[in-house]
Amino acid sequence: MDIRNLGYVGVEGPDPSGWIPFATEVCGLMPSPLVPGQDPSATASNDGTANTSKDGTLFFKMDDRQWRLSVHPAEQPGLRYLGFEIPSPAAFETALVELGEHGIDVTSGTPEECVARGVRRMAHVSDPAGNRIEFFFSATSDAPFQSALGIPSFLTGSLGMGHVGMLVPDLEAGLHFYLDVLGFEETDYFEIGPGMAMHFLRCNARHHTLAIGRVGDFKALHHILLEVQDVDQVGQLHDRATAASIPISTQIGRHANDLMFSFYMNSPFGFDIEIGCEGRLIGEDWVPQKLIRPDIWGHAGLTAETGGGD
């Protein structure tokens, strides 16, 4: 499959409104002035306030794409979907065929679902842990990114919107799905303990788009990384998080594998948002490797139980 990047992430939980101050005033994201499916002439909001879709979903911009992060209302907090970008209609058709050949049940997105994502085509499957994985072609770009905090923009483009760290109960099944079926490549991994490990998988030059690990018989969204442009922006964001009394779950440090200078904080739904910069890019000649130490320095608080070291 020709997956180019992680195009969007949907999360869910009770009371999405808690994300408005967190996403905008702390993270520096921009509320989407126009949510997918909204009539541009009738309801566009250009005053920086957050629009919601009819079902109460919030959308946030990181760049000129209409949105990159959505927050849906739901009873329990967690991941709602990952959206992987396919570069062409032909590649999209090929992806559907290949998924079928692997025995994966594929469901085509309805026209309404495609409108709700702002994409021309979409299909979805379940990964072995039950996470909804979407594939899309042709997302919507609308307006330039304008952060109220003056952040130029996040590091996205061909690298995608960031990376996601997930914990799954069956690591072998998860690795088979993402490596053998979806075609991700393994960058590196480390063992945490008996039956526990973290693997770092890429689909472009970003060191990893997906960290998938097992620390027990449960699944969880551990964190979403948003990458900013430089160390000062990480520090300034850390200042804003501290001023807003956002719990810092992992102190500033630098990972040994993706070289990300970063920290982690609790999102309103409990899982973490990692804010980082200077993430390593991987070239064609890279070969997978096993790691021993997760960090060069810092990152106090990141433990095996919280998915550590990515």
Burial 46-82 (b: 16+ CB within 10 A, else e): eeeebbbbeeebbbbbbeebbbbbbbbeeeebebbbb
Q: Does 188 bind Fe ion (CB under 5 A)?
A: no
Contact range with Fe ion by CB under 5 A, out of 46-54, 136-144, 185-193, 274-282 = 274-282
Q: Which span sits near Fe ion by CB under 5 A: 5-13, 186-194, 267-275, 299-307? A: 267-275
Q: Output the residue with the shortest Cβ distance to Fe ion.
A: 310
- DSSP letter at 252 equals E
> Is 274 among the residues that bind Fe ion (CB under 5 A)?
yes
Residue recorded with tokens 């999209």? 92
**Residue count at the site for Fe ion (CB under 5 A)?**
3
Interaction between residue 310 and Fe ion (CB under 5 A): yes
Give CA–CA dist 1/184, Å, rounded.
9
CA distance 271 to 266: 6
Q: What CA–CA distance (Å, rounded) separates 111 from 28? A: 32
The stretch near Fe ion (CB under 5 A) out of 48-56, 148-156, 166-174, 271-279 is: 271-279
Which C-beta is closer to Fe ion: that of 59 or that of 263? 263
The neighbouring-strand residues paired with 196 are 193
Nearer to Fe ion, 117 or 223 (CB): 223
- Measured in degrees and rounded to the nearest 5, phi and psi for residue 175 equal -65, -40
Interface residues for Fe ion in 207-236 (CB under 5 A)?
A: 225
Cβ distance to Fe ion smaller for residue 20 or 225: 225
User: Which range touches Fe ion (CB under 5 A), out of 13-21, 104-112, 168-176, 270-278?
Assistant: 270-278
Site for Fe ion in 97-136 (CB under 5 A): none
CB of 29 to Fe ion, least distance (A): 18
Give 265's strand partners. Answer: 248, 273
The least CB distance from residue 309 to Fe ion, in Å, is 9
In the bound state with Fe ion, the residue whose beta carbon lies nearer, of 201 and 225, is: 225
Shortest CB 198 distance to Fe ion, Å: 10
Positions that interact with Fe ion (CB under 5 A): 225, 274, 310
